[in-house]
Chains A and B, each alone.
Chain A
Amino acid sequence: MRQNKLFFVFLIFLFIFRAHFAHASPSRYGGSLVLSIPSDPKTFNDIVSTDAYSGAITGMLFEGLTTADPFTLKVIPNLARSWEVSPDGLQWTFHLRRDVQWFDGTAFSADDVVFTYNDLIYNPEIPSPSKDVLTIDGKPFKVEKVDGYTVRFTLPVKFAPFLRSMAQTILPRHCLWQAVKVKRFSFTWGIDTPPDQIIGTGPFMLSEYHPGERLVFKRNPHYWKRSSQGEALPYLDRVIYLIMQDPQAQLLKFMDGEIDATPVRGSDYPLLKPMEAKKDFKIYEAGAGYDSNFVTFNQNPGVNSQNHRSFVDHVKLSWFTNLEFRRAVAHAIDKKRIIEILDNGFGLPQNGPMSPSSGFFYDPDVTIYDYNLDKARLILIQAGFKYRQGDQTLEDPSGHPVEFNLYTADTGTAGREQMAAIIRSDLERLGMKVNLVPVEFNTLVNKLMASFDWDMVMIGLTGGVEPHFGQNVWLSSGGLHLWDPHQITPATDWEKRLDEIYDEGAQELDENKRKILYDEFQRIVADQLPVIYTVLNMDMYAVRNKFGNLKPTVNGGAFHNIEEIYIKK
């Protein structure tokens, strides 16, 4: 009798309990997120892509063995669920997840990992930017399959950023091995590939692409990640990227409700902030960004192999390679005003290659060049430059008037064109004649990476927490060593020292010793000025309030956890 009563109570309890749960969590599934991007991607092939926009797109589709926690910045497991390292630090064994599927349903396995490294990244015929970061002292990692779900990496020497570098995306072997075999991999998965052929493991897959208009991603039903309550992710049905070159148009579309989120520039802030309540969104201020803005001079002494002309006219080269010239220019960058004028006071002056948001490795003690045109003129005069009587044109020691072109890309980022106009006007006060030449972003990239026909460029690079990942920029042999790329031997002593620092820094496992090295790196850059930094923008995002699980960070933006984002009902 008592048992029955207990059982009855138990049943009632269960009933109430279930009823409670039934009302507590309405389904988070469904809905779409509409974002915008300023430029079409150049390719969907993550291995050969070099620009940030293509990278943003492929970041939705592909994943790596590890990833970084957006808050603690520490390395956490991703496609690999765990790993061990040998005592000498050279052998790493990764145990892969067994529940990951490619978009077409094929199981993800060690074969894909081995293929990605050995056949793609380390393939001498494939121009992959990652190759350099994953090579130490000219030696690649040895990547072997141990069994279906276990991969072993053997490093030639100790490599401090190794685990972080395992965020390198993995591509599917079964789709791409044939292209590699016939040596067409570099041109596969270009932007005219049918969307359903782009196969990854990420939370979303490409559903449609209309060039110049939009990209549409739909949910990956086989995605392996689960929410903390065990629900299958992602929640959203779709993510749509509208391609909007004009930042004004982007702002308008956010205001009329067509886009759900937009990066907020300092100058937009006074417009958007008062609208927060009425239009139901919130502005998140994530902190000083990682993306640098700088100007750089072309110091490339090389010759164009097609028409046998030097990349840079030798008269100009003599100015650009002159440190005093660059120092004078550095004193002509009015950082404070640039921040005030372009960003209404949001932002910080940038003095070196790393941002305060990089955390541990950031070194604030670098040479700072104050905005002082008189000092700049003095430096120039002491370096042998002269001011012509009458119009005060600056002439070099040989009597050539100083005139050159400043190229900048006008794709809605950071107001670079306006920044360039301000710098140009200050350089004019120094007596230099500077022609501002705005070009398309991709054209600029082409100039910097392929044709090398430029004098001075204003551009920016994405940054991060780990200084080693900037290797392509700072190694003299790097492809992103913009002012003089692909050097066979270092052209100057300080570039040689940077090469050494990067080598040592990569192999030094003691964080504090690494910091000493990278501090030196930052000081060298600020002293030698291969690039002259301008300002760091404040990362801010306006996102509609209907989205749940929003946790914006500088590291990842507003949607780094896109698989967890849902629409509140």
Chain B
Amino acid sequence: MALICFWTLVVFYALAIFADLISPYSYKDEDRDFSYCPPTAVEFMDHGQWVQPFVYGRALTFDSTHRRVYVIDQAQKYPMRFFKGGRLFTVDAPGRVYLWGADARGRDLFSRIWYGARISLSIGLIGVAISFILGLLIGGIAGYYGGWVDGALMRVCEMFMMIPGFYLMLALRAAVPENFNSVQIYFSVVVILALIGWASLARIIRGMALSLRERDYVLAAKTLGVPDIVIILKHILPQTISYSMATLMLTVSSYILAEAGLSVVGLGIQDPIPSWGNLLSDAMGIVPVIFAPWILLPGLFIFLAVMCFNVVGDALRDAFDPMFNEGAS
């Protein structure tokens, strides 16, 4: 099970990296003739014969209750073009291919989900990286030195853990100037995420460091006069990595959820840059859910990515736990 999840994640990241290639359109590419267009089926048969895949033309009409109805025009056929303009597949204008439907402004959801994957998946990783470095350093130092250093640093940790995550996120977000552009907002969100999560990581590392410092080889190194910081970096921390990996996976999943939460209330990544969270904010209403259910797909992706990280993390923890327990006796 964990292996399936691991490979799923690899696929997600790969697709995200290659979003430019696999997406037929840029994330900004609007076509207002196709607002909320349902997914366009790719046709393989024409009058009972196999042909090169194509997409029918569609026209927007409104029915008597002003509901959008897309009428398929079988006279208009747009053949799929492969590897044209650096894109794996696309169609010639004015045809549009919407594998997973379009949003309100006619932007392709398939493309936006993969561009959005770049943001959502990377934010989780970078945020975790920062949290991890912070956690390692502070936890490692606290655990190794013990005593008042430990006490003080742990109090700082507790302080961060004392403010409920979402509140802390909102408060931190309030401190961000209102006219930041999208790049600056991205980094602010990363920093905010990192700040809410480092504390629990630090505690775990500290716990491990506390027990590890009693080990023979550490005592030996100390006797030999190796400087403390080298001991921490070369001897203690590497031992913590394996167990930390599990926690890291779990933290990435919580960061992905946190970014989604922030974007959904409009305080995260801003339009037009897609992130799975702000894609979902379009779906937060009865009307889109009923009339354009494909708009909920980003939620599925968040769910899948988070679940995969959780399963992998859980498996890692199971794998390393007994080993760790053995060592600690």
> Which A positions have Cβ atoms within 8 angstroms of B?
248, 251-252, 255, 266-271, 273-274, 334, 337, 340-342, 344-346, 405, 410, 418, 421-422, 424-425, 428, 433, 435-439
Contact = CB atoms under 8 A, between A and B. Distances in A.
Interface stretch (B121-129, B138-146, B265-273, B313-321): B265-273
Given A341-B104, A425-B28, A436-B271, A271 B291 contact: yes
Contacts of B286: 248, 251-252, 255, 271
A339 B35 CA distance: 11
A290 to B, nearest CB: 22
Interface stretch (B60-68, B150-158, B194-202): B60-68
A340 B65 contact: no
B62 A344 contact: yes
B186 to A, nearest CB: 13
- 9 closest A-B pairs by CB: A270-B67, A248-B285, A337-B32, A344-B66, A273-B65, A341-B35, A270-B65, A269-B66, A405-B179
Contact of B287 (A271, A273, A436, A437): A271
Contacts of A433: 181
Given A248-B286, A433-B181, 20 more contacts: A248-B284, A251-B285, A251-B287, A268-B287, A269-B65, A269-B66, A270-B63, A271-B286, A273-B66, A340-B60, A341-B35, A341-B104, A341-B105, A346-B66, A421-B105, A422-B105, A425-B28, A435-B182, A437-B178, A437-B179
A345 B67 CA distance: 9
B37 to A, nearest CB: 12
19 contacts: A248-B286, A248-B287, A251-B287, A255-B286, A266-B66, A270-B65, A270-B287, A271-B287, A340-B35, A341-B104, A342-B104, A346-B66, A418-B104, A421-B105, A425-B28, A435-B182, A435-B270, A436-B270, A437-B179
A273 B60 CA distance: 20
B104 A344 contact: no
A254 to B, nearest CB: 11
B30 to A, nearest CB: 6
Nearest to B103: A341
Contact of A435 (B60, B68, B179, B291): B179
Contacts of B287: 248, 251, 267-268, 270-271
Contacts of B271: 421, 424, 436
Interface of B: 28, 30, 32, 35, 60, 62-63, 65-68, 104-105, 178-182, 266, 270-272, 284-287, 290-291
Nearest to B32: A337
Q: Is the interface of B mostly helix, strand, loop or mixed?
A: loop
A362 B224 CA distance: 93
Given A340-B35, A425-B272, A270 B266 contact: no
Contacts of A274: 65
Contacts of A436: 270-271
B202 to A, nearest CB: 35
B107 to A, nearest CB: 9
Nearest to B178: A437
A428 B180 CA distance: 17
B44 to A, nearest CB: 32
A14 B282 CA distance: 67
Given A425-B272, A437-B178, A270 B105 contact: no
A152 B67 CA distance: 56
Given A248-B285, A436-B270, A334 B32 contact: yes
Nearest to A344: B66
A440 to B, nearest CB: 11
A438 B267 CA distance: 9
A340 B32 contact: yes
Nearest to B106: A341
Contact of B266 (A337, A410, A424): A410
Contacts of A340: 32, 35, 60
B287 to A, nearest CB: 6
B272 A344 contact: no
Nearest to B288: A267
B291 A270 contact: yes
Q: Which of B28, B66, B68 has the most CB of A within 10 A?
A: B66
A248 B264 CA distance: 14
A274 B66 CA distance: 11
Contacts of B285: 248, 251
Nearest to A272: B65
B66 A345 contact: yes
Given A340-B35, A425-B105, A270 B66 contact: yes
Contacts of A269: 65-66
A189 B182 CA distance: 43
A337 B32 CA distance: 7
Nearest to B36: A341
Nearest to A267: B287
Contacts of A251: 285-287
Contacts of B266: 410, 438
Contacts of A437: 178-179
Nearest to B180: A435
Contacts of A337: 32, 35
Contacts of A342: 104
A248 B283 CA distance: 11
A309 to B, nearest CB: 15
Contacts of B32: 334, 337, 340-341
A237 to B, nearest CB: 31
A556 to B, nearest CB: 25
Contacts of B179: 405, 435, 437
Contacts of A424: 271-272
A341 B287 CA distance: 13
A203 to B, nearest CB: 34
Nearest to A270: B67
A246 B31 CA distance: 28
